[in-house]
Structure 1
Amino acid sequence: MSEIRETLFRYLTMLQLIPRSPGRISTPVLLEKLNERGFQIDTRSLQRDLRDKLALHFPLACDDRSKPYRWYFDRDFHCNLPALDVPSALTLVLTEEYLKGLLPPVVIGQLAPQFRDARQLLDRLEGNGLSQWAKRVRAIPNGKALIPAPFKAEIWQAVSQALLENRALDVTYLSRSVEQQRQYTLHPQGLVSRHSVTYLLATVKDYEDIRQFALHRIENAVLSSTPWRGAVEFDLDDYIFNGAFGYLQGSDNITLVANVAPQLAWLLMETPLSDQQTLTPLKASEWQRLEAIVPNDQQTLWWLKGLGTNVEVLEPLAWKNDILATAREILSRLVQNT
């Protein structure tokens, strides 16, 4: 009886690990993931499970154009294990609303079946009014959100597989700096979505430095026969923390001192700018004095510039002078054009 139960649990785990099309998972990777979950099975037994067991009862297909073979389910295959409940459905509806303003359609499409299941579940609950929730839930980004840069489904598939399986990629890349196509062999190390652009972090050829490649500028990508090389001591969190995406101007944090308007003070009380922040009422004024320890980066400076007349920056002096110079330049252009 225990052997039958073990086999059943293995089948259920395999159903969870095999992606829908256009996703793929190779036999070696699937075997590795099963072993990580405590299922001791050899390659031949795994292939027999896939071919002679699961493929007979589920829309399971094999991409055998190259080795190792890769497995996937039909794109429209639904497997609700476990069954979706109402709170989870509502969470998925909100998640879809939020993500579709941040990620390209190709990426959102990977979760389309789950989002569709959530909406269908809510639509069936007409008796208690919950079907209206899908129409009443929206996510609004903070600030102006640009339309996510699109890229091809096959690019996402190749990049995802390379990251999952530690494979190198041969790509054709449109370089923004020289405005021409370049051929690279990339060794993927990570993936970051920032604002409306998704970046592949990778080393090139035999170099050790990490470079950023915008996915929408990759015009072609195929798995490479070149062995993948991991970057020495690369840590994605450290890479981001050290300013790779924040245009760091200095390695040390700085103290921001500014007078802020009442509505901005309320916002910062509820959603602080940093863990080390104070707001002090100014005498004979509705404004407050803000002091906060913040990164010395362009992103924070751009945020301050976007606040316009709701903030008066006092320190650091370099930021105060930068904002003042920007204001003078804007005023000068307005005068010239009138």
Structure 2
Amino acid sequence: MSDTLLRQWTMLRHIPRHPRKITVSALHERLREQGYPTTERTIQRDLQELSGQLFGLAVDDRSRPHGWYWDRDAAQFDIPGMEPQTALAFKLAEHFAGPLMAPATLQALSPYFRRAENVLADTSGPVRAWPDKVQAITRGQALIPPTVDPEVFEAVYDALFNDRQFQAPYHRRHDGAVKDYVVNPLGVVFRDGVVYLVCTLYDYAAVLQLALHRPEGFDLGRYVDDGGLNFKLSDTPLALELLLAAETAFHLRETPLSHDQVMEDSADGRVRLTATVADTAQVRWWLLGLGDQVEVLSPPFLRQTIAATLRRAADRYD
């Protein structure tokens, strides 16, 4: 491979995709740093020869100095070409992880996604069919997720990505009122198709109230693990003690409630389970959903709460 071809290929790799751009002088400096001595005149000539329909290069001649860029929809060139297994990885990432990515990241990856689509379309065999053979579902009752306005989604992600505040009207659930809030986004959590924005409001440092900057020491992962998205009822964990039907206990052996979960067989054929969990409304809903498959032994107040709820439910059917 000639030095000219290597230099041109290196140059093309340094040209950004629209809306970003790079000047000839900046390209000259990049090439010099990588051991390709040349002149700006030579680079300008190379760019003119390589631009057009073949590569999708373009120049913003309205600026001084001119800026070169790849067209937003230019095809992704890969040497060596994208393998089917790599294309499959991009396809799955777009489908399952796409909602987790910031719009700017999705835009940067869109040429790879389109290339992956074309590679799989030209591929025969099991790799091409794999995306149709895998799905991700929730264990609970399937619900149709709400539709999020793309402009709202992009604005929230942009603010979160760049650590900026934003102002927006919010439809409050408890009283139906619409109120303007200044929001300091801390993170987003996806749960069963619903996107939750973890934030502060106004000039308060507490999470879900306003602060002008990220509160010191805030950890989104810890916030979720501690039950922040499960309608937390208190800061004191629950020391659960349950008696479970054998079939339900089998499921919890595979997917434990907590890291300190302990299970042992009981004399009546059920399984005794102890575990420390966050005190949340979600735990109560889960226990009620198990119906006669579970008996809450401890803590006593939770046993009484569950029993009273089940009695009221039974009374409605009498």
Query: Structure 1 length normalisation: TM-score?
Result: 0.65
Structure 1 residues 284 and 161: CA distance shift in structure 2, 3 A: closer
| CA displacement at 1:210 relative to structure 2 | 3.0
Residue from 191, 213, 219 that aligns with 1:230: 213
| CA displacement at 1:73 relative to structure 2 | 6.2
| CA displacement at 1:25 relative to structure 2 | 7.7
Q: Give 1 or 2 for the bigger CA radius of gyration.
A: 2
Structure 2 counterpart of 1:124: 122
Structure 1 Cα separation of the partners of residues 175 and 59 of structure 2: 42
Taking every aligned residue pair, what percent have the same amino acid on both sides?
30
Please tell me whether the aligned partners of residues 76 and 111 of structure 2 are also in contact (alpha carbons under 8 angstroms): no
Q: How does 1:137-156 map to 2 (within 5 A)?
A: 137-156=134-153
* Unmatched tracts of structure 2, length 5 or more: 23-32, 35-43, 63-68
Structure 2 counterpart of 1:240: 224
Structure 2 counterpart of 1:283: 267
Please tell me whether the aligned partners of residues 256 and 316 of structure 1 are also in contact (alpha carbons under 8 angstroms): yes
| CA displacement at 1:307 relative to structure 2 | 1.4
Structure 1 residues 270 and 162: CA distance shift in structure 2, 3 A: same
Q: Say if 2:286 is the partner of 1:267.
A: no
Residue from 170, 177, 189 that aligns with 1:173: 170
Alignment deviations for residues 20-44 of structure 1 (CA, whole Å, 9 cap, x no partner): xxxx8899xxxxxxxxxx99xxxxx
Structure 2 counterpart of 1:223: none
Structure 2 Cα separation of the partners of residues 232 and 26 of structure 1: 36
Higher relative contact order (CA 8 A, sep 6+): 1
Please tell me whether the aligned partners of residues 227 and 279 of structure 2 are also in contact (alpha carbons under 8 angstroms): no
Structure 2 Cα separation of the partners of residues 167 and 236 of structure 1: 17
Structure 1 counterpart of 2:189: 192
Residue from 265, 269, 289 that aligns with 1:306: 289
Read off the aligned partner of 1:322 and give its amino acid letter.
T
Q: Say if 2:313 is the partner of 1:330.
A: yes
SS, match of residue 274 in structure 1 = coil
Read off the aligned partner of 1:306 and give its amino acid letter.
G
Structure 1 residues 9 and 267: CA distance shift in structure 2, 3 A: farther
| CA displacement at 1:112 relative to structure 2 | 7.5
Structure 2 Cα separation of the partners of residues 260 and 195 of structure 1: 26
Read off the aligned partner of 1:297 and give its amino acid letter.
T
Read off the aligned partner of 2:243 and give its amino acid letter.
N
Structure 1 residues 201 and 132: CA distance shift in structure 2, 3 A: closer
Structure 1 residues 294 and 175: CA distance shift in structure 2, 3 A: closer
Alignment deviations for residues 149-196 of structure 1 (CA, whole Å, 9 cap, x no partner): 212111122222222233332322222233232223333332222333
Structure 1 residues 112 and 9: CA distance shift in structure 2, 3 A: closer
Matched residue pairs, number? 281
Alignment deviations for residues 44-91 of structure 1 (CA, whole Å, 9 cap, x no partner): xxxxx9xx89997547899x9xxxxxx9964x6553658544444445
| CA displacement at 1:99 relative to structure 2 | 6.4
| CA displacement at 1:328 relative to structure 2 | 1.0
C-alpha root-mean-square deviation of aligned residues, in Å? 4.5
Read off the aligned partner of 1:305 and give its amino acid letter.
L
Please tell me whether the aligned partners of residues 91 and 113 of structure 2 are also in contact (alpha carbons under 8 angstroms): yes
Read off the aligned partner of 2:215 and give its amino acid letter.
V
Query: Structure 2 length normalisation: TM-score?
Result: 0.68
